Amino acid sequence: MKRIVKFLKTELWVLTLLVLTLLVSCATPTTYIFPTVHKTNPNEINLIRASFLNSLTDDELTYLQNTPMVRYVTENSNYPVSFYSVYHDEWLGIAHDIFDVISELTGLTFERVSTLDDQWLDLITMLDNGEAAMITELLCPEIRTVQYLYSDPYSSDLYSLISKSNLPTLGWSDVHDMRVGVVHGKVYEALFHNLYPSHEYVVSFDCSDDLYRALINGDIDVTMGRNDQLLAINIFYGQVGYRSNLIYNIQVKSAFGFAPGEETLRSIINKSLSIIDTDIIVSSWAHTYYDYSAKIKEAQRPLLIATVIMSVSVLTLITVLVIKMRAEALRARSAIIRIKTEKGDGI
């Protein structure tokens, strides 16, 4: 019996040690990889800012004095240009990094007036009716009736059809048999209809998020977009096994868009872009990896700890019950032996 109790105590100690090790590993912080933007030292920034302000016209300086805050709208899943990260609980992307540098130069602050629920056409409506002065991305040129203003481009790419890797390489004529996804109202939709005016299997979506999820779920065969949208699928949605299946020799340029009448703001932004190395910012996002598994692990940690504590409690209870049962069995056996012994003595 002593050996049994000793064995059970040893097993319980080993189990406790393993549990404590697991809890410590769960509590160990993980290093996350975030995009970085190169910044010069404070003295250089002050010199650059002074030179920049000296280049502004009187109208532009007056604008900065009278309009310290610029209202803008943005998509919530336009990775890597602008997106909302649920894991970091903030808006990130190329456009926001550029905003940060522009703020250092000009003193302007940028206020987002769109919400997570706003779709692409909602953003355009807000730009049209004056609720917002600018949008984080318009592709040059957007095919629209309203004459928007464009900044100088901050990045460029090529249009392409994105598919899963196991879809055979498409030729021009093969596209007619594909289910093609587009975001309604975006330039991709208009361009695709110009390229394939008789195509019968075009599926329109309200936002990029719905478009990407349809491709991931197999509801469509390809999306009409551009090459860097592979980053959205691979990094933002954490999916592998996709490629640019058919690349068109048509360049697409990303720029900030402005509502009609915002010529002064556009001029200030353009002068800012002329001294910002946007290639560094764009490149940093092309090589950014998010360890979302660590964030998921962090979110699951309370449940894991509760489960471990419950398991230890149950195992401890079982161990105690086994020890008590063994002790009871030993006492019963001793009683039986004693009774038999007394009977034998009586005989």
pLDDT tens track for 253-310: 999 999 999 999 999 999 999 999 999 999 888 877 655 545 545 555 666 676 777 7
Domain co-membership, 113 together with 83: yes
**In this model, does residue 139 exceed pLDDT 60?**
yes
Residue 181 maps to a domain: yes
Measured distance CA(158)–CA(135) in Å, rounded = 21
Looking at per-residue pLDDT, the higher value among 38 and 148 belongs to 148
SS3 of 347, please? Answer: coil
For the chain, the domain total comes to 3
Residues 305-325, mean pLDDT to the nearest whole number: 75
The reported pLDDT for the residue numbered 315 is 76
Domain co-membership, 267 together with 144: yes
244: β partners: 162
Domain co-membership, 58 together with 138: yes
SS3 of 131, please? Answer: coil
Q: Name residue, tokens 């250089």.
A: 44
Residue 347 maps to a domain: no
Residues 27-52, mean pLDDT to the nearest whole number: 56
Residue 33 maps to a domain: no
Radius of gyration of the chain (CA): 32
Confidence class for position 25, pLDDT limits 50, 70, 90? very low
The reported pLDDT for the residue numbered 333 is 72
Domain co-membership, 264 together with 139: yes
SS3 of 251, please? Answer: strand
Domain co-membership, 71 together with 137: yes
Chosen domain end from 215, 236, 251: 251
| CATH number of 102's domain | 3.40.190.10
Give 22's contacts (C-beta < 8 A, 6+ positions apart).
308
**In this model, does residue 12 exceed pLDDT 60?**
no
SS3 of 142, please? Answer: coil
Residues 221-234, mean pLDDT to the nearest whole number: 92
Domain co-membership, 91 together with 74: yes
Percent of the chain with pLDDT over 90: 55
Question: pTM for the full model?
Answer: 0.70
Write the pLDDT tens digit of every residue in 123-133: 999 999 999 99
Average pLDDT of the residues of the chain: 82
Residue 134 maps to a domain: yes
Neighbour-count burial for 110-128, b at 16+ CB within 10 Å, e otherwise: bebebeeebbbebbbebbe
The reported pLDDT for the residue numbered 146 is 59
Domain co-membership, 200 together with 246: yes
SS3 of 307, please? Answer: helix
Domain range holding 319?
2-28+304-336
The reported pLDDT for the residue numbered 6 is 47
The bridge status of strand 222-226 relative to strand 134-140 is: unpaired
Residue 179 maps to a domain: yes
